[in-house]
Amino acid sequence: MLTATHTDLKPFEDLAASFAAKELAKKTEEHDTYPFGPFFTKVLDKAYEVGFLGVLLPEDLGGINGGISALCVILDNICRADSSLGGIIFTNALAQQIMTEAKADTALKKIFPKASNAREFLVACPSFCNPAQMVKLPTAERSGKGGYVLKGNLEYLVLGNIAANALIPARVEGKPGLSFFLMDLGGKSVKKGEPIFSLGLHACPAVDVTFEDAGARLVGEEGSGYALFQEVSGKLHVAAAAMSAGILKGSFSAALAYSRERFQGGCQIINWSEVSMLLANMAVKADVADLCVAQACQALESGARDRGRLAVSAAVHVHELCCEAVNDGVQVLGGNGYMKDYGQEKRYRDARQVQALLGISPMKKISIIRQIAGLEDICAAAF
């Protein structure tokens, strides 16, 4: 949909579609075995080489300065095949954007232009939550050298076991609100747990971490973390929606193909009208998801008023469409859809995992109505 109206995005689509076909589609099941099987390091390195890990970053920082629509086109096409890589791209973009929004130029220049591989280019962060809502955060204290030290636990640090650096939300002792800190994950004062075995996106790993006076640098101002998160997530919600749209379309394509191959009662199952109805519902949802992502991108890029809220609305709706559709995507394949040698069960899991990006969906809805009604942001009020 985006490329139909923005032909300049076509190269991104072609690149992502070809990458997905070549590097992901035939090995989805194998890549999904992580953490019980090997991690797809080579695929990640190739994604880094073609620029997928720096879509929103300016070129002088080692990115490709593609803009949010380009990111959405890439995530859509990648997630049709395997949304684990989409989760990595998304999480890294979130961390980069928070740093950019905070004008952490020194840190940005220190990490991204100098990175020589994917690991060095990745910045871990807890992308499956709104840090202001539910996470027990570490605490930060000023150290003698002008920096900070972090103490305590952080659950579900995404990319925590594969990234060189991390962007950590923490509370500064004696100060309201939360703040973001950048830190090197290689130090002894950072204890990482085993990769967490999660519902979906198996190859987008997360770990629990414990900080024991771990050195860190403040990103932005003390207490500015929630505002930074809100500003950036307002944009990246649409990227999460693009991931769901990709999963949905991948599920629909697989179901449609299967319905032409599988026979029941003497004819292709697509000719049974109840199966047609399942497929039709998926097709409608895929189209609506595309429209939502395209319109939200347009609102973001044109600087429309309420663009952040529109992006959240699009994301909430597309995530719901996707979760419903992937259920039918398994159902069309019957027992085969439940088995790992078909891709549908993975999409069923991944859809729910992606829905949790940037926080729980009911609270996203509450935030939408409070914005429309002109009421105070309840997360900000809670500080």
354/79 Cα distance (integer angstroms): 10
Helix (H, G, I), strand (E, B), or coil: what is residue 298?
helix
Q: Are 209 and 186 in contact (CB under 8 A)?
A: no
CB of 152 to another protein, least distance (A): 16
* CB-count burial class (<10 Å; 0-12, 13-18, 19+) for 120: middle
CB of 179 to another protein, least distance (A): 18
CB of 383 to another protein, least distance (A): 8
Position among 107, 129, 185, 239 found at the interface with another protein (CB under 8 A): 129
Helix (H, G, I), strand (E, B), or coil: what is residue 322?
helix
CB of 239 to another protein, least distance (A): 18
CB of 62 to another protein, least distance (A): 29
Position among 120, 155, 184, 231 found at the interface with another protein (CB under 8 A): 155
Q: Considering the complex, state which of residue 111 and residue 351 has its C-beta at the smaller distance from another protein.
A: 351
Helix (H, G, I), strand (E, B), or coil: what is residue 171?
strand
| Residue 93 found at the interface with another protein (CB under 8 A) | no
CB of 195 to another protein, least distance (A): 11
Q: Which of residues 279-318 bind another protein (CB under 8 A)?
A: none
Position among 60, 141, 264, 280 found at the interface with another protein (CB under 8 A): 264
CB of 263 to another protein, least distance (A): 6
269/262 Cα distance (integer angstroms): 6
Q: Are 75 and 86 in contact (CB under 8 A)?
A: yes
Total length of the chain: 383
Position among 266, 303, 373, 374 found at the interface with another protein (CB under 8 A): 266
CB burial of 326-353 (b: ≥16 within 10 Å; e: otherwise) equals bbbbbebbeeebeeeebbbbbbbbbbeb
212/324 Cα distance (integer angstroms): 43
Structure-block tokens of residue 168: 């950590």
Q: Considering the complex, state which of residue 66 and residue 169 has its C-beta at the smaller distance from another protein.
A: 169
First-to-last C-alpha distance (Å) of the chain: 41
Q: Which of residues 313-372 bind another protein (CB under 8 A)?
A: 323, 327, 330-331, 334-335, 337-341, 345, 348-349, 352-353, 355-356, 359-363, 366
| Residue indicated by tokens 């993975």 | 346
Cis peptide before 11 (omega within 30 of 0): no
What's the Rg (C-alpha) of the chain? 21
Q: Considering the complex, state which of residue 251 and residue 355 has its C-beta at the smaller distance from another protein.
A: 355
Q: Considering the complex, state which of residue 70 and residue 358 has its C-beta at the smaller distance from another protein.
A: 358
# residues near another protein by CB under 8 A: 53
CB of 277 to another protein, least distance (A): 9
Residues that bind another protein (CB under 8 A): 36, 126, 128-129, 133-135, 155-156, 196-200, 263-267, 271-275, 278, 323, 327, 330-331, 334-335, 337-341, 345, 348-349, 352-353, 355-356, 359-363, 366, 378-379, 381-382
